[in-house]
Structure formats: C-alpha cells, structure tokens
Amino acid sequence: MKARRILLASHGTPGAKAAEAAAFGLCEPGGRIRHLVVVPDFWKGMLGDDWLNNAAVHVRFGRYVEGQLEREIVAHAETVAAEAKRRGLDYDCELKFGKPADCLVAVARHGEFDLVVIGSPRPKGVEGLRSRMDPETLAKGLTVPLLTVPHPGRDGGRRKDME
C-alpha cells in the first residue's frame, strides 16, 4: 500500500516514532507528509492548585513551559524534516493546541489527504506519557483512512519497522 498525501500525527514518543517510520515507508516517492504536532490541553491545568506563588512566578513558569515545549517540538520537527528531505518527500509541520483527536480531525478535514497515520498508545508497563488520542472521536470524525501503527514495545517489538 502506498499513499501520496499523508497526515502524520507524532510528538516524539516511541509509539509516535513508529508512526513516523510507517508514514515514510508508505509515502510514494515525491509525495507529501503533513506533520501535525498537538500540544494537549492538559497543560492548561498544570498550575494545578498552586496558591502560594505570586503572579510573577506563575508568569515565569508559563513562559518557561511554553518555551520548553516549543524547543522540544522544534527539535523533533527538525529530525522528521531531515528524514523527509533525505527521502525526497515534501514536508511541512503544523502545530495545534487542544484535544489531539479533535485537532487531528480538524486538520484532516481542511487538507487533502489519502491517509492518516498515528502511533498506538504505549502498552501497560512501558514508561511514557499517557496517550491523549481518543480513538472514538477519530473513528467518527475522519473521512480518510486511518492507520494506527503498533507500539514498538508491544509483542517484543516484532513489528517495529514497517519499511
């Protein structure tokens, strides 16, 4: 199976990296990959119930977290872009803030894609952030085929390379 226009949702975790590898493997030569990175909305609640700090500390924390997320996303996008360039694929990256599934559905609806590729949640016992992708929202909202790539930690990583 090959696709010309792929929407890839990934954020640098092992599961997402497996999705990146699959997307590169499935993209036709000269094809296009749109890389979607979603900053989940749980970050809005990350000040939690802090009541002791003053506004200056909150502002500093907010700016720091925003800057840190940006640095991590830029570094990740540069890696994916370099791989796309090496393979001669057209690449662009889009950043969204919100619920990952909602953002993915919105981007998929507004662009012309043949395939959407995502990683799967980490298996139990494998370290990593909890997946925020809601499969039901994707199933109901997507109008293009969706490929969910197995996590490399699942089944001893037998299917870690789709190429």
Partner 1 sequence: MVYTRKNPALLIIGVIMLVYWLAVSTGMLDGLLKVLKTTGSKPEMIQLSLIFGVVGVVIGLWQWFGSHTEGELDYYSSAIAGGMFILLVAMLVRWYLDPLVRLASTAIGPVIPGKRYIHGVFGLNYIVLGIVAGMIIVNVFKIPDWAQNGVRISRLGLKTGVILLGTLYSLGELVQLGKLSVVLIGFFVLGSVGLVLWMGSRRHISNSMGGVLSAGVGVCGVSAAVAAAPVVQAKSEEIAYTIGTILVFGVICMFLFPVIGHLLGMGYIQFGAWAGTGILNSAQVAGAALAFQPRGIETLKVAEIFNITRVLFLPIIVLWLAVWYVRREAAAGVTVQQVDTSRVIFEKFPLFVLGFILMFALSSTGIFAPAQHYQGRYFDNSKSKLLEEKDLNTLKAESGKLQRDDEKQALARLLESKKTQSINHDTTLRGIVNSGVLSKDANTVLTKAHNAVYHTAKKISAFRKWLAWLFAFGLTGLGMQITMAAMRQAGGQPLVIGGVVGTAKAVFSLIVVLLFVRETI
Nearer to partner 1, 101 or 116 (CB): 101
Measure the CA–CA gap between 7 and 147, rounded to whole angstroms: 10
Tell whether residue 75 is a contact of partner 1 (CB under 8 A): no
Backbone angle region of 115, left / alpha / beta, with phi > 0 → left and psi within -120 to 50 → alpha? beta
- Map residue 111 onto helix, strand or coil: coil
Query: In the set 68, 74, 78, 92, which binds partner 1 (CB under 8 A)?
Result: 68
Tell whether residue 61 is a contact of partner 1 (CB under 8 A): yes
Which pair of tokens denotes residue 73?
């996303």
Task: State the nearest-atom distance from the C-beta of 118 to partner 1, in Å.
Answer: 19
List, in sequence order, the alpha helices (H) in the chain: 14-26, 55-86, 100-110, 135-141
Task: State the nearest-atom distance from the C-beta of 38 to partner 1, in Å.
Answer: 13
Nearer to partner 1, 59 or 82 (CB): 59
Nearer to partner 1, 58 or 109 (CB): 58
Residue 98: count of CB within 10 angstroms of its CB: 15
Backbone angle region of 78, left / alpha / beta, with phi > 0 → left and psi within -120 to 50 → alpha? alpha
Contacts with partner 1, 77-106, as mask; x by CB under 8 A: ------------------------------
- Map residue 74 onto helix, strand or coil: helix
Task: State the nearest-atom distance from the C-beta of 37 to partner 1, in Å.
Answer: 12
Residue type, 102: D
Tell whether residue 125 is a contact of partner 1 (CB under 8 A): no
Residues in contact with partner 1 by CB under 8 A are 40-54, 56-58, 60-61, 63-65, 68-69, 72, 127-130, 132
